């Protein structure tokens, strides 16, 4: 991945909190624990649009790896480039959803906002949309 800017600590803390929540939700889901409440899912999706896609498409092992990587970055280790990518994704998706909700943005081609936002992240970080999509939302893997 190309070099990415370093996220401010507060944004990195937010990502660490998000991944800790996703790990817990995935553990509950996979372990037949109590189902996530609508309020939990709505709050997570409102703050981090696309997080529920991560919950559904990333396995427990990848969610844990991302949580560990965020914790390591908070402890002073190098931030991985995908951290800036997913942070930008959440910001851009939140803006797109707000504009669409206000009628300012019409449905993207095919009625999907995700590919448009992925392309914007790719342009921002001089990467291909395929690389961004494969990095942020890889095919689901068990574990």
Q: Evaluate whether residue 81 is within a structural domain.
A: yes
Note the pLDDT of residue 32. 75
Q: Evaluate whether residue 117 is within a structural domain.
A: yes
Q: Evaluate whether residue 143 is within a structural domain.
A: no
Note the pLDDT of residue 142. 45
Q: Evaluate whether residue 21 is within a structural domain.
A: yes
d(CA 38, CA 68): 26
Q: Evaluate whether residue 2 is within a structural domain.
A: no
Q: Within 10 A of 2 (CB to CB), how many other CB atoms are there?
A: 9
d(CA 92, CA 1): 20
For the chain, the domain total comes to: 1
Q: What is the 3-state secondary structure (H, E, C) of 16-71?
A: HHHHHHHHHHHHHHHCCCCCCCHHHHHHHHHHCCCHHHHHHHCCHHHHHHHHHHHH
d(CA 27, CA 108): 34
Q: Evaluate whether residue 126 is within a structural domain.
A: yes
| Mean pLDDT lowest among 11-15, 28-32, 110-114, 133-137 | 110-114
Q: Evaluate whether residue 141 is within a structural domain.
A: no
d(CA 41, CA 30): 16
Tokens linked to 4: 């990415």
SS3 state at 113: coil
Q: Render the burial of 76-97: b for 16+ CB within 10 Å, e for the rest.
A: eeebbbbbbbbbbbbbbbbebb
**pLDDT tens string 75-120:** 999 999 999 999 999 999 999 888 765 453 455 556 688 999 999 9
Note the pLDDT of residue 111. 63
What is this structure's pTM? 0.86
| Domain assignment of residue 101, given as a range | 9-136
What percent of the chain has a predicted confidence (pLDDT) above 70? 86
Q: Evaluate whether residue 116 is within a structural domain.
A: yes
141 pLDDT above the threshold of 90: no
Highest mean pLDDT among 48-57, 91-100, 134-143: 48-57
**pLDDT tens string 28-47:** 988 878 989 999 999 999 99
Note the pLDDT of residue 2. 46
124 pLDDT above the threshold of 50: yes
């Amino acid at each position: 991945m190309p070099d990415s800017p370093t996220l401010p600590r507060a944004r990195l803390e937010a990502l660490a909190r998000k991944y800790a929540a996703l790990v817990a939700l995935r553990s509950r889901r996979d372990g037949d624990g109590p189902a996530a409440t609508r309020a939990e899912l709505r709050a997570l999706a409102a703050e981090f649009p696309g997080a529920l896609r991560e919950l559904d498409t990333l396995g427990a092992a990848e969610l844990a790896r991302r949580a560990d990587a965020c914790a390591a970055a908070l402890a002073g280790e190098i931030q991985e480039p995908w951290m800036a990518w997913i942070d930008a994704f959440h910001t851009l998706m939140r803006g797109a959803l707000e504009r669409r909700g206000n009628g300012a943005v019409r449905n993207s081609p095919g009625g999907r906002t995700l590919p448009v936002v992925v392309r914007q992240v790719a342009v921002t970080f001089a990467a291909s949309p395929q690389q961004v999509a494969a990095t942020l939302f890889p095919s689901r893997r068990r574990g």
